[in-house]
Chain A
Amino acid sequence: MGDFNITVNGKTVPAVKGQTVLQAALAAGIDIPVFCWHPQLVPVGACRICLVEIEKFPKLQVACATPAADGMVVMTESPKVVKARQGVLEFILAHHPLDCPTCDKGGECDLQDVTFKYGLDYSRLQEPKHRNIVDENSTFDDLQIGPEIIRNQNRCIHCYRCTRIVDEACFEDDLGAYQRGYHTEILPPPHREIRNLYSGNVVEYCPVGALTNDDWRYKVRVWLTKQAKSVCTHCPDGCNLTHWTFHNKIFRATSRPNENIDRGFICDIGRYGYQQVASSDRLKQPMIKKNGELIEATWEEALNLIKTQVSELKSKLSGNAFFGLIGETSTNEEIYSFQRFLRRVIGTSHIDSRINRKRRLTFGEEVTSRAIAPDHVSYQDIDKADTFVVYASDLHSENPITALRIKRGVRYRDAKIIIINSRSTHLGVRTGATNLLHKPGTGLAVLTGIVDAAVSSTTFDKSAVGLSDQQISEFKQAHTELLLPKAAAMSGVGESDLRAVADSLVRSSNVVIFCGADFSRYPYRDEELLALDNLRRICKSAKLAVLPESSNSVGAELLGAYPNQYPGGKGSDAKSKFEDLWRGPLPDFSGKDMIGILEAINEDEIECGFIFNADPVRVFPDGNYADAVLEKLKLLVVVDSFMTETARLADVILPLSTFAETEGTRTNWEGRIQYTQSAIKPMFDSKPGCEILELLADRLGVSFGQGRPSEVYGELNKSLGDVLPVRYEMFKSEGAIYDRPKHQPKPGFNRVAYNAIPSDREYPNFLTVGNADHHRGPNTERNPSLLKFTGDPFVGLSEIDAKELMISDGDLVKVESRTGKVVGNARVIAELPGKVVFLPENFRELRPNLLMGLKEKFDHVKVTKM
């Protein structure tokens, strides 16, 4: 229902206040051609193709920028309109090359479509076409303007969507339009490339073939392809993608705009991340270890081997000698099947998905008893917030699209960002954020200092936030070491900065607090959660979101990938319910988590395990230890798509189909469950996860009869209380949200315990880990396009440290810790504070986890030039 009606071509069309004529018409299914307009950009009315006739207006108006008004009478195809539109089209085409047959946009070109519709088949142009010549010897005038992007200026129709997308939607600045009039040229700034994390969007939204990417060009014609609806698996943002396939091969991924999530813009990692499906280290066939060497085998051989060995071990040992680890990019269905397989078929509760965390990360007692769980936060909450706190996260690289939403709030609603981190991040630099850059490991002091500044302020209205004098004085007594002057001194953040942030938080009416990957990686997670909860309590209204690490981390938690949790987050009292559902006995409820599992293997309590789509050797924060421990196993079955470090240790490898080859659902950071189609059939001799798990279960004597994801989904839904859509086909763009139970938090402040980081003279630097540009997590190095942005691993050093150690860019350096060492080329990073060493976690040649000692609370390292 609209606020009022307008008439378009004689048809009554509802319109909402603030809508343009175009938006109202499009909503009613009336098509008006556009070139420069894009739903997420400020309309500029420049291309003039959308001219329409509106009664009482002397001139034709652009539909894209004219606000709809009550009673307006609009004609979109009147003779006057058609004449003007043909005129505009003729102008656009005048100097446009007629190279459609060799243009990659051919078949999906807006200009081609509109031309076809308005039937212009002649040109009155007698003069030679304007030519922008880049290279005299080239017919096509291609200019590489970024690692992936090629520009053909002659095809450009000057709609400026590209430069506006870079500026208005991506908040970047590496593409501009120079000169005036028809000389205007689209280029990155001199001596630079377009290489921002969202650069591929300009190709997708260029209405013609002026901007294309290496990834897609000259490979296949679009009309030959099929499309599959998919959801990105590279981060928990959950952007919607379309995979374009031909002969069982994916040729590109584009955005599939979803208002609830990405609004049509995806990052390059999502765009080019499909390439790993065809990576050269894909596991093509099952493998069996014979005489210490992995050799190819048939499924039959592999499954039989597993059957004999497991049966043998099981006859001697209890289920407690088995464990299972699953990666958090697996689908909900795979996770559900996996834990069911372990619990019901193998009979163990030693299951975990949190394999890359060093600290024991079940919430500490205090956190649980005070009922501090993250809130339900969604993208919609971002749109409402006036202040964001981003804690311990490089949001831009970890959650690129969430970062965009926040930036949108900053640009268009004047929202504020407060970033608390020990290294400066892209988001902090680009948004005019308040950056509280603190010494490594002192985040707690910053948080508690801010709270102190707030409650100590004379203008603090404690009653407005429900705090009593007593609670405040208790807070002060409990944290004498973390109050203002000390907090500032300890963290290195100015006292006045802490006060200013406190002031702005207290004045904000709607705060969203995000904490990201570093939060889970580094010490004091529980304490930090308590401190963040304190921060929330000084705000009038604030929500706290803990951003998960992987595309389906939330699903893993929800569907029982943790030792002490059945699907739906259910506890031990649900045991009998699941015994009914799975028709058989289940083991003891409490199992071991990742750290416990490794300990138990080390102590020979656990001897056999299943690792599904996970690479603990690569990512567990003591790589040497994980390697050595897993080596001890009597039987290790690895189910994976790639030959990982962990797979090399396996006794049996089963080749797993990738995300592109299997359908299923995943849960993004909001808790939104979304469905993904399979784009292609399983490649090589691989099989989708659910099928493999069913085969294993069947071999081991407990068939569930659910080899297909849709079948698993049915039971999964039942286990959650049938709250999700009944069938995959019923998923809409808003997906489904499973409501987790809410806890009633205790009043007053939490008590936060804290010990300063001991300094280590021998290993004076602090190791931080994160993502290199255009990478995220351990899989992105399998995508050639992403390697064009950052191909080589590096050791990031601050300018100060580099100078002190006389190291310059490219020098070979050794990074050592008490437990290991790695060697790599140095890169001096201006944003890095002194005494901090940065290692990307994206490259197998330079694994930061080799430097991490399980016993070491902090990762101290030293760097030497080689």
Chain B
Amino acid sequence: MILSNDTKSKIGEYAKKYPKVKSAILPALHYAYEEQGYLDDSMYEEIAQVLGVKFIEVAEAASFYTMFPKQKRGKYYIQVCRNISCALLGSHHLTQYLLQKLGTKLGETTKDHLFTVVEVECLGSCCSAPMMQVNDKYYENLTLAKVDQLIDEWRAAK
């Protein structure tokens, strides 16, 4: 039992909305991820049980989408948009700057478990490029000064 009863009941409730319960796999994955920060086989199993669907249906779906990692990420999960509009305004430089400043490599989590930096495809914030998403939040029109300030804040907040 990994998922809390609260999460399970939320999943169960949400599933009721759909004409077919299998549709609730995605919302269920989101609920589970929100609670745990990652997903694994036993959580798939629990989701399958709550929804009454097959384990494999949950596992296959989860593996397809990018938002359900199987490993925990840093407290600040920094996703830098690498796509065209951001790239035109320096996103590659932004990534390099972040990696250097945080002393880490792409896709790896810093030792203090604070930061994971990854590059992602377009996040739909092209008119405010360059941008990055940190956990759920968008940070747009980034400049070096802004990035410095943000990192200081996060480090201070731990």
Interface residues of A (CB under 8 A from B): 173-180, 189-191
Which B residues touch A190, using CB under 8 A? Answer: 41, 59
A180 and B59 within 8 A (CB) = no
Known interface pairs A190-B41, A191-B41; A174-B64 also in contact (CB < 8 Å):
no
In the bound complex, CA of A176 to CA of B60 (Å): 7
Residue B63 lies at the interface, judged by CB distance under 8 Å to chain A: yes
B64 and A189 within 8 A (CB) = no
B60 and A178 within 8 A (CB) = yes
User: 23 A-B contacts, Cβ less than 8 Å apart?
Assistant: A173-B54, A173-B55, A173-B56, A173-B57, A174-B56, A175-B56, A176-B59, A176-B60, A177-B60, A178-B59, A178-B60, A178-B63, A178-B64, A179-B63, A179-B64, A180-B64, A189-B41, A189-B55, A189-B56, A189-B59, A190-B41, A190-B59, A191-B41
In the bound complex, CA of A176 to CA of B58 (Å): 11
Which A residues touch B59, using CB under 8 A? Answer: 176, 178, 189-190
Task: Identify the closest chain A residue to B53 (Cβ).
Answer: A173
Q: How far is the CB of A154 from chain B (nearest CB, A)?
A: 19
In the bound complex, CA of A189 to CA of B57 (Å): 10
Which B residues touch A179, using CB under 8 A? Answer: 63-64
In the bound complex, CA of A177 to CA of B64 (Å): 9
The DSSP consensus for interface residues of chain B is helix
In the bound complex, CA of A190 to CA of B59 (Å): 9
Interface residues of B (CB under 8 A from A): 41, 54-57, 59-60, 63-64
Q: How far is the CB of B38 from chain A (nearest CB, A)?
A: 15
Using a Cβ cutoff of 8 Å, how many contacts connect chains A and B? 25
Q: Which of B41, B54, B56, B57 has the most chain A CB within a 10 Å cutoff?
A: B56
In the bound complex, CA of A191 to CA of B56 (Å): 12
In the bound complex, CA of A189 to CA of B56 (Å): 6
Q: Which 8 A-B pairs have the closest CB atoms?
A: A178-B63, A173-B54, A176-B56, A173-B56, A190-B41, A176-B60, A189-B56, A180-B64
Q: How far is the CB of A9 from chain B (nearest CB, A)?
A: 39
Apart from the given pairs A173-B55, A191-B41, 10 other A-B contacts in the complex at a CB distance below 8 Å? A173-B54, A176-B60, A178-B63, A178-B64, A179-B63, A189-B41, A189-B56, A189-B59, A190-B41, A190-B59
Q: How far is the CB of A463 from chain B (nearest CB, A)?
A: 38
In the bound complex, CA of A173 to CA of B63 (Å): 16
Q: How far is the CB of A132 from chain B (nearest CB, A)?
A: 15
Q: How far is the CB of B91 from chain A (nearest CB, A)?
A: 23
Which B residues touch A173, using CB under 8 A? Answer: 54-57
Task: Identify the closest chain A residue to B55 (Cβ).
Answer: A189
Task: Identify the closest chain A residue to B41 (Cβ).
Answer: A190
Q: How far is the CB of A378 from chain B (nearest CB, A)?
A: 32
In the bound complex, CA of A189 to CA of B62 (Å): 12
Q: How far is the CB of B7 from chain A (nearest CB, A)?
A: 21
Task: Identify the closest chain A residue to B65 (Cβ).
Answer: A180
Which A residues touch B64, using CB under 8 A? Answer: 178-180
Q: How far is the CB of B64 from chain A (nearest CB, A)?
A: 5
Which B residues touch A174, using CB under 8 A? Answer: 56
Q: Which of B54, B57, B63 has the most chain A CB within a 10 Å cutoff?
A: B63
Q: How far is the CB of B53 from chain A (nearest CB, A)?
A: 10
In the bound complex, CA of A176 to CA of B63 (Å): 11
Q: How far is the CB of B100 from chain A (nearest CB, A)?
A: 30
In the bound complex, CA of A177 to CA of B55 (Å): 13
In the bound complex, CA of A173 to CA of B41 (Å): 15
In the bound complex, CA of A190 to CA of B43 (Å): 12
In the bound complex, CA of A191 to CA of B45 (Å): 12
Q: How far is the CB of A171 from chain B (nearest CB, A)?
A: 11
In the bound complex, CA of A326 to CA of B41 (Å): 52
In the bound complex, CA of A698 to CA of B58 (Å): 68
Q: How far is the CB of A659 from chain B (nearest CB, A)?
A: 37
In the bound complex, CA of A173 to CA of B54 (Å): 7
